[in-house]
Every structure is written in structure tokens, then in C-alpha cells.
A = this chain, B = another copy of it.
Amino acid sequence: MPEVLAVNGRSVCPTDAAVSACDRGFLYGEALFETMRAYKGVIFRLDDHVARLKGSAGFLGFGDNLDAAALAQAVRSAVAESQLADAYIRVTVTSGQGRGLTAKPVGDHTVVVEVRQLAPYSPHLYERGARLMVSRYHRDERSPLTAHKITNYVLTVLAKREAAAQGYDDAILLNSRGEVAEASVSNVFIVKEGVVLTPSCERGILPGITRQVILDLCPASGLRASEVPIGVDALFTAQEAFLTNTLMEVMPVREIDGRTIGMRAPGPVTRELARQYRLAVEREVLH
């Protein structure tokens, strides 16, 4: 089976897959998701993704009966059923069914797991480096929601569409102070005087799983890493810049708003961290 869509543990044909019209995810956006990647059928950092989702569900008030182990097992089962080696996985969890803004959900969470053949980013993009624009849209670092992977991706869609319409590969969103927050679906890193820098969690970012892996890998590569505010000027004058997320891993950035970043992409630090990331994947899932 090339593709699996499982709703509340039951695998269904994608055209038949349905959730209740009274689901609070549908009605009120009370829903979280995670995107994961499987390598040779093994999901990288599954527990980290499930822990983040569970933590966010707690923040939103529907974490209590959410069983992290069962959720992880549901994802593993769907991947196994797909028989896919390199897979894209999305798990969506809502608070359940319930009408009325502050109503307690009736019954259980809704859990949708989707597994598809991974459609990797173009190798050309990794060689050439991504061309980005600074978006007119921003992340609100003061909102407590920004740090949670809530299904409301409307602003992200607008930013991505704007970037595509202007011929860019993606967009960087600033926060309301004008500092760098993140790219549309990835975290932003720059290299300055040999130090790896990325905005800290309170600057309007999603605390990415890949972002954390990269931060953890720096010392082993003899690199110093720091979470600091990054202004637009610092971005433009960086020696290197790269993006991270689960699906893209480490993506070099070539230029931003038409200005070339550093000497050439990918720079040596970006290449080293991309290599280290692959080694971490091999250690954890390809053994």
C-alpha cells in the first residue's frame, strides 16, 4: 500500500477519510499536528515529536487523556502498514467533538495519521541554495500560540504564496520587533564569525525538533552555537545562512531579498552540519 490514512486507528481510503463536522479541530481550530520523516521505515525523533504535541495539547487544555505511547504506536503502525521506506508523516490531533466555545469535548481525541511517499526537496535547491524574501507578514512573538504547532497555517500559506508569486523559494517572517523569527515552515540559522546563531524560542518561533538536533550537534563539530535575537542587518551580513525542518533537514540559503549571503552556498559550516545531521540520522534509525 503506497499511502495510509488512518482516522482514530482505522485505516481508510483517502477519499473516504472523514472527521466529524462537530470536531473542535474543524469548528474552532483546537488541533495540533506534527510532521515527521521516516528513513528506511524508521521514524526519526518520533518521541520528540509526540512529546512536543503532548506538551502543546496540555497548554491548550486537552492534554490530559492524550496517551503519548499510544500515539507513537499509532504512527509506527501506519508507517509499517504503508511499507514505505522514505516516508512523509503527518499526525493531526484534535481535542475531540464538542460544540460551544468552551464546551468539554465529548469522548476521545481525534487522531489522523497520514503516511505518504516522501517527496524530497529538489537536490538542485541544496546545491544552489534557497532564494528567500523577507515577508510582509510577521510572527507575533508575544502570542503564546506561536510556539505551538496549531493547524491554523493561514498566515504561513499567505507568506508561501507571496514568495512563490515573486519567484522566491520561500519567505522569512520577522517578529513584531522586526527581528528574524523563522521561515514559513522552517527555523533560520546564520553563521557569524564562525558562531552558529538562531533566534531563541521567545522570539516568535516554533521550537523545531530539527533546530534542537542542530544545536545539540554543534559542540561535536567544534562549533559554538548561541540563541540570540537576529536583526535583519545581521541576516544580510551573515557568512552563511541555512534553514532546518524535519523534511528538508539542512537547507543552505543562497540569497535573501536579492542579496547574496556570504561567499557561496552551501558554506563550510552549513555543509558540516548537514553532514552531522545525516550521521545522527544514521546512528539513530539506520543502524
Contacts and interface: CB of A to CB of B under 8 A. Distances in A.
A156 B26 CA distance: 15
A140 B140 contact: yes
Nearest to A19: B21
Chain A interface mostly helix, strand, loop or mixed?
A: mixed
Interface residues of A, number: 48
Contacts of A112: 21
Contacts of A155: 143-145
Contact of A153 (B29, B144, B185): B29
Interface string A109-147: 000101000000000000000000000011010111100
A164 B102 contact: yes
A14 interface: yes
A191 interface: no
Given A20-B17, A140-B140, A27 B151 contact: yes
A221 interface: no
A23 interface: yes
A39 B159 CA distance: 41
Interface in A252-269: none
A26 B31 contact: yes
Given A138-B142, A160-B102, A176-B176, A151 B28 contact: yes
Contacts of A19: 18-21, 23, 26
A153 B160 CA distance: 23
Given A92-B27, A142-B138, A157 B21 contact: no
Interface of A: 5, 7, 14, 17-23, 25-31, 33, 60-61, 92, 99, 101-102, 112, 114, 137-138, 140, 142-145, 150-158, 160-161, 164, 176, 184-185
26 contacts: A5-B22, A17-B21, A18-B21, A19-B19, A19-B21, A19-B23, A21-B112, A23-B26, A27-B92, A28-B151, A28-B153, A29-B151, A29-B152, A30-B154, A30-B157, A60-B157, A102-B157, A102-B164, A137-B144, A138-B142, A138-B143, A145-B155, A150-B152, A150-B154, A151-B152, A152-B152
